[in-house]
Amino acid sequence: DIQMTQSPSSLSASVGDRVTITCRASQSISRYLNWYQQKPGKAPKLLIYAASIFQRGVPSRFSGSGSGTDFTLIISDLQPEDSASYYCQQSYSTPITFGPGTKVDIK
């Protein structure tokens, strides 16, 4: 099985800050990496798929990059509504696996 790790597990940042979340796969997954945002009590929402492609309607302050084993999600201008947990997910092979999540709080 492909193991996914994320760092940091949580962070606190100010409005307007640039936030970086990293995700690492235990083996190469090419660009089969997707990012989700989840707010408390809500279903996850797809932000980025195939490592760097925006899902329709996602604000441009979100961006993704990476390939192979190392990936990054950047929020370039943090907004209050970005307070949430963020998960990476590999879709290279089954079993599909998610990272443990990164909780983003607004200072």
Number of residues engaging other proteins in binding (CB under 8 A): 25
Q: Are 91 and 107 in contact (CB under 8 A)?
A: no
Amino acid sitting at position 49: Y
Does the protein bind other proteins through residue 11 (CB under 8 A)?
Answer: no
Between 16 and 41, whose beta carbon lies closer to other proteins? 41
CA 39 to chain centre: 13
Between 77 and 92, whose beta carbon lies closer to other proteins? 92
Between 66 and 99, whose beta carbon lies closer to other proteins? 99
Q: Are 78 and 13 in contact (CB under 8 A)?
A: yes
Residues 83-102 that bind other proteins (CB under 8 A): 87, 89, 91-101
In this structure, the chain runs to a length of 107
Between 5 and 18, whose beta carbon lies closer to other proteins? 5
Q: Among 76, 64, 58, which Cα is nearest to 23's?
A: 64
What mask, x for binding other proteins by CB under 8 A, covers residues 18 to 57? --------------x-x-x-x----xxxx--xx----x--
Q: Are 33 and 98 in contact (CB under 8 A)?
A: no
Question: Is the omega angle on the peptide bond into residue 80 within 30 degrees of 0, that is, cis?
Answer: no
Residue numbers at the binding site for other proteins (CB under 8 A): 1, 32, 34, 36, 38, 43-46, 49-50, 55, 87, 89, 91-101
